[in-house]
Structures are given as structure tokens and as C-alpha cells.
A and B are shown apart, each in its own frame.
Chain A
């Protein structure tokens, strides 16, 4: 594990007489996809603002790649794409205007800036809307434009605050798959959200925040964790799966358990390659695989344990 790309040590932040973050410490290693879960008002967005240099802590240290995002902003934020809370653009500007501006600030110039902007727009699926005024875009397209701004130049660290906010269910699913692909390509992700599904679909590790304090730091059960915990996924089939078919999915390092006539939970060692091998076994065996996703229920239970039922969203 390399030196942490994100590090907070003993951070405290107060607004007026109210303590928003209290003695907050955690570190994120390169390549990790970390979810940051907590109810509204827990301090998630304040953490993001501290990390992106928009706020200074009252006490403690914040480091990005070893640099202070306030004192050494240019170096600290050079490899960071951030989407903090819900910013907007003046209605007359276009996504292409914003992406080009971001590209130039990330060191691109001339045609390469235009190309980087177009690439980010295409990646987030807003290529046809790049030249439309921001005020005429739907909420979902506006959110994608802002996400595209964070992704310009493919920075190695993405800090995202409620990235699926305002997206319809299909777009939400697309974005989760995209973020997972980004994480699999080696980009470090820090995803602040109050949606458990975002974390289950994208993250390897989850931090639970309650009233400004870290109350949990653990692996997302459905994904390989950094210290080798087993990954759990649910497979759903188009038709009822006979018992002998379960054996076709099993492997020396993979255990299968039936959840319903059409769904199976598989627990296995390894990462994406092992999951791909599982899918390949299902396809080779001619099983009518319909979908594969993180094991459900596990994270919700842990969230309620850490944060409390009355806080659950």
C-alpha cells in the first residue's frame, strides 16, 4: 500500500458555537474506492470542503498527496477532481465553456484543452448537450456536466459529493457503473453520499460518520476489501435455477447459497478478475444470467448499527 493520497489527522471544524467535525482522522491509499456515509448534517460536505481547499480546519491537518490544500493549493489539487455539494453555473454558459476552462487550469492548452473537454463530456454522456446553455439542461444533465468538470483530464483522485443526486434511476445505474470502472482503472475515489446503493455499487471501503465523528471504518462486504476480506455478490437468473446448476457456479474459492428460486449469493476471494471468472462460469454453463450486483442488505444493517435507526435514510 503506497503513501496515502488523502489524509486527515485530528481535524476539528466549528461553525459558530456548533462543532461540525470532531477529531476526524482517516487515510485513503492510492486506488481505493471509499464511501463516506452519514445522515444529512453529519459533516460529510464539510469534510469535502476541507479536502478541496474551500475551508480550513480549526484544528488538525488535511493533506492531499502530502500537500496542504490551503497553503499549497496548486500542488495539492493538481491531481484532484472535485464536486462539492450542489454548485451551478450561470444559465448562459455551456458545459463546453466550463470543461474547457477546467482543462486549461489543469495544464491543457489550445486543441488539447478542447479535446480533454470533449473526452470528459463524452465519458459522462453529455456530448450532444455540450453547447447548450446550462440553464436549458435538465437537472440530470446539469449534474453530469458538473461531474464531467471533475473528470476533465482524468485526475487520479476524485472527491465526489452526492454524485447521483438528481439523476433518474437509469442514469444513476449508468453513473455507478462508470464510477466503478473508473475505480477499477486505478483512480482513487472518495464518495460522500447518504445513499447506501451508491456505496455498495462503487466502493471497497466505507467510513460511517455520525455527528461529526467517525463511527466506523470497514470493508464493503460485497467487494474485496484492502486486507483481503471475501467479496459477496448476488446473481439473478432469467428463470428458476435447478439445484445441480449451483454446482456449476461453485469453485474452490467460491461458495454458493440459494436466496430464491432465481437468485444465488456467491462469496469468493479476489477482486474483479475473480468476479469476471464467476460470470464466465455461468455463461459457459449456459445459465440464463440476468444480472450481477453487490450482496444486498449487509451494508444497510451495518449503517443502522453505526448511525442509528432514527438517522437512517
Chain B
């Protein structure tokens, strides 16, 4: 194993240990458990007209919960150690700070995406069974499959921006605020495109790319060398 690979693996391991010790690991259960349950209740209360609309509603609810997890844990993974200057311990060790940071961002952001996908899978499986197909003539707002993957791009954007801002400001709170702002802007732009009828695959792809760029900034900014 190369030294960068070892630093990456140890970064993943260290972050998982932190999640376990701080009991934040349980947050990953919220999207796949609370998402489908809450969604099923909403289906009943709102009397959604068809399974497609039910899936769209459920995917939004689950991704909303996963977004909170990605924001919170992404900001903490990048900024919590910096806030207490633990980086002076971590990055004075024989490891690449960038590989270590990349490893540390994988569990929170990858975990939030995985939790969202698990919740989405439950919703997609349950919708045709729980929602009557009587309203099949009512148009569905969005294609559920497109929405599913579009929300993954949204989650990457939120987690990435939160991590990058937390790295820059050395503060998880600031990272969280930046991530929320990015989410509001991205959702607003997407809604505008939807109203205009110009929403396409380019929007979530741009969000995903923005998220990856933000993650790269967080990774590249770790172990900053001039401050």
C-alpha cells in the first residue's frame, strides 16, 4: 500500500471512529428509516393521486433528511479538528494531509448519499403497493428516476460546500451556514428552471460537479502551508 493510500484508509477509519464515539453514526439511519415512514404517512394524509407523485414526494422528503446529514457531518469532518487545532497533531504525522482529508470526507458525504439511496429504494418499492393507481391520469411533476439521481448531485453539492467552507474558515458552524446557503441557491435555480420548463439533466450534473470541485477545494486546502 502506498503512503497516500494508507493515509486515505486511515482517514476513513479515523472518521468512522469519530462518528462512532460522538454517536453521530446513528444519523445515517434517519433517511432510510424516517424518510419512508414519514413519506408513507404523507401519502395517506395528502391523498397523493398516483405512485409516481408519491415517489417524487418521498424522494424529496428522504433527500431533505439526507441533506441535513451531509451538511452536518461534512462540516464537522472538515472543520471540527481545525477548530481545536488538532490538525497540528494530524498533519505533523507522516501522511499526506490531502489523502487523509479525502479519506475523512468519504464517510460523511458518501454515507449521506448511501443513506438517501437506501431510503429512495424503500420508497420506490413501497409506492406502487401503498398508493392507489386511480389517479394515473394526473401528470407527475418530475420523472422519479431523474429526480433520484438529481438529488444525489444536490447532496454532493451541499456536503462539498459545507466541507470546503469549514476548511477555509476552520469552523464547522461557518461550513454549515455556507452549505445551507448553497442548497437554497441550488434549489431556487432548479425551481426556476422547472417553472420555465427548462430543467434538464444539466442542472443536477452541474450541482454534482460543483460538489466535487468543492470537495477538491477542501482536500487541497487541508494542511495549508502559508498561514
Q: CB within 8 Å of B: which residues of A?
A: 49, 52-56, 70, 73-78, 80, 82-90, 92-94, 97-98, 101-102, 104-106, 133, 146, 149
Contacts and interface: CB of A to CB of B under 8 A. Distances in A.
Interface of B: 3, 6-7, 10, 13-14, 17-18, 21-22, 80-81, 84-89, 91-96, 223, 225-227
Contact of A101 (B14, B80, B91): B14
Contacts of A86: 85
Contacts of B227: 55
Contact of B88 (A70, A87, A94, A104): A87
Contact of A106 (B7, B94, B226): B94
A155 B14 CA distance: 22
Given A49-B88, A53-B223, A83-B89, 10 more contacts: A53-B91, A55-B227, A74-B96, A80-B94, A87-B84, A87-B89, A93-B18, A97-B21, A105-B94, A133-B21
Nearest to A106: B94
A149 B87 CA distance: 13
Contacts of A90: 18, 22, 80-81, 84, 86
A56 B227 CA distance: 9
Contacts of B87: 54, 87
A105 B10 contact: yes
Given A55-B225, A74-B95, A87-B87, A97 B81 contact: no
A66 to B, nearest CB: 15
A98 B89 contact: yes
Contact of A92 (B21, B96, B223): B21
A54 B21 contact: no
Contacts of B85: 85-88
B94 A55 contact: no
Nearest to A102: B93
19 contacts: A53-B92, A56-B226, A75-B94, A77-B92, A77-B93, A80-B92, A83-B89, A84-B88, A84-B92, A87-B88, A88-B85, A89-B86, A90-B81, A90-B86, A93-B17, A101-B14, A105-B7, A105-B93, A133-B21
Nearest to A86: B85
Interface centre among A52, A85, A89, A105 (most CB of B within 10 A): A105
A55 B97 CA distance: 12
Interface secondary structure of A, over-half rule? loop
Given A55-B226, A105-B10, A78 B94 contact: yes
Contacts of A104: 10, 13
Given A73-B94, A87-B88, A149-B89, A54 B81 contact: no
A7 B55 CA distance: 64
B86 A97 contact: no
Nearest to A104: B10
Contacts of A97: 17, 21
A80 B225 CA distance: 19
Contacts of A77: 92-94
Q: Which of A76, A86, A89, A133 has the most CB of B within 10 A?
A: A89
A54 B88 contact: yes
B225 A70 contact: yes
A72 to B, nearest CB: 10
Nearest to A50: B225
Given A77-B93, A77-B94, A84-B92, A54 B223 contact: yes
B22 A92 contact: yes
Nearest to B85: A87
A73 B3 CA distance: 10
Interface centre among B7, B13, B14, B87 (most CB of A within 10 A): B14
A106 B7 CA distance: 10
A169 to B, nearest CB: 26
Contacts of A82: 92
The list of the 3 closest CB pairs from A to B, nearest first, reads A52-B92, A82-B92, A77-B94
A74 B4 CA distance: 9
A102 B100 CA distance: 13
A89 to B, nearest CB: 6
Contact of B92 (A54, A78, A92, A133): A54
A56 B97 CA distance: 14
Contacts of B6: 105
Contacts of B93: 77, 102, 105-106
Contacts of A74: 3, 94-96
Contacts of A76: 94
B86 A88 contact: yes
| Most chain A C-beta atoms within 10 Å of own C-beta, residue among B6, B88, B223 | B88
Contacts of A49: 88
Nearest to A133: B21
A94 B17 CA distance: 11
B8 to A, nearest CB: 12
Given A104-B10, A105-B10, A87 B86 contact: yes
B192 to A, nearest CB: 40
A92 B6 CA distance: 25
A25 B108 CA distance: 44
